[in-house]
Amino acid sequence: MRPRKKLKSRLSNTTKIMTINTKTGRLFIENKAASDVAKEFGTPCYVYSKNSIKTNFNRFKDAFGERKNLVCYAVKANSNIAIIRILADLGSGFDIVSGGELSRVLAAGGDPSKTVFSGVGKTHAEIHYALEQKIKCFNVESESELHRISTIARELGVEANISLRVNPDVDAKTHPYISTGLKENKFGVDVDDAMRLYKIAAKLPNIEPTGIDCHIGSQLTEIAPMRDAALKMVELTDALIAENIVIDHIDFGGGLGIQYQDETPIHQELFVKMLLEAMGSREQEILIEPGRSIVGNSGLLLTTVEYLKHGPNKNFIVVDAAMNDLARPSLYNAYHHIDSIIEEKNRPLKRYDIVGPICETGDFLGKDRDLCVNEGDVLAIHSVGAYGMTMSSNYNSRGRAPEILIDDTRAHVIRDRESIEDLFSNEQIAP
């Protein structure tokens, strides 16, 4: 089966944002031809669908019905302020892991009172800043952090709302680098130690325990581990309430996977239904922290074929995108579907590795792909809306790609391409 036809079938099960015109063979993002985007803005460039982002968020929101909830978009997935603004306008909350991400939320018009602050290494300055902005809650990940927040809150004369991020010791069955809920992971506090820490928190000055939090990993495609974690959180909540520790919300985290290759993702509605069943008649506000499942399949990376290189054992497509633009294949050996933006019929396929110009053997975007290409063609790398641009770098002194938002037929630049001058604008030659 031709790779593009397989992709078309996959995407039709979610949101139809990437479609192939059957007459011309051209790839469209919403109603904008990918070839027109590449011509206008150059390559490499990231391209996102506004409609897809909105649709994916609303599927979570609508699934809760009248049940009290807060969908907190995980900013780390894609932190462009234009995307944050789209979600803020829909009423989204935000899950942040740095002071920089909080600044992005504020710059985009996001509500700090709907923002939760996660992460194991919050600095003194970040905690101070977050308290000044009156965020909804800190997801606390250690006893030391709990005491630090108390000290800073006391200095400022404010109350700090906290949840403990509880590590439920559940195997998320995902890549080990993005598994976060096992005893050997750095995240959260051990579930067996949570009660002790909540009792400490209840007595600390300027600390108000208001919630409980967990997050077992990313790119999750099985519902069972998520259900196990949810039930543990509900059980612990009941135990805390029995100890007169009031819990106003339960944050079940995020991590829902998407389809990169042949995965079967968990539908938003099924995930929410599972949470509602786990909660039963309990009335605490439900928080979730989706990121990848909102923006992942909403983005493409367009890249131009610079050279075709044929060897005795391997054929290579050398493109103008590289591991600095998209790190996931090199970092995780992650799969991203790759095809030409214009389908070439009745031409033989050849097997290639798709590689970039960076001086690393690990600089690849795809391996052993059957493609029909010529030098100068434009390829589309799919499912890059999450952990694409946010993980990019300037390695080999390469400027980062622009980001383009498609709204029906309109294309908006939401990040300019970095110039050579941008690369060293903050550097100085010592006297």
Catalytic residues: 359
Distance CA 169, CA 233 (A): 12
Rounded to whole angstroms, how far apart are CA atoms 168 and 231? 10
**Backbone phi and psi for residue 74, each to the nearest 5 degrees, phi listed first:** -80, 100
d(CA 191, CA 164): 10
Question: How far is it, in rounded angstroms, from Cα 87 to Cα 72?
Answer: 10
Distance between CA 225 and CA 215 in Å, rounded? 11
Strands (E), 384-423: 403-407, 410-415
Work out the angle at residue 116's Cα, subtended by the Cα atoms of residues 210 and 53, and round it to the nearest 5 degrees: 135
Residue 194: exposure state from Cβ atoms within 10 A (0-12, 13-18, ≥19)? buried
Q: For the chain, first and last CA: distance in Å?
A: 62
Q: Is the dihedral of CA 358, 361, 365, 369 positive or negative?
A: positive
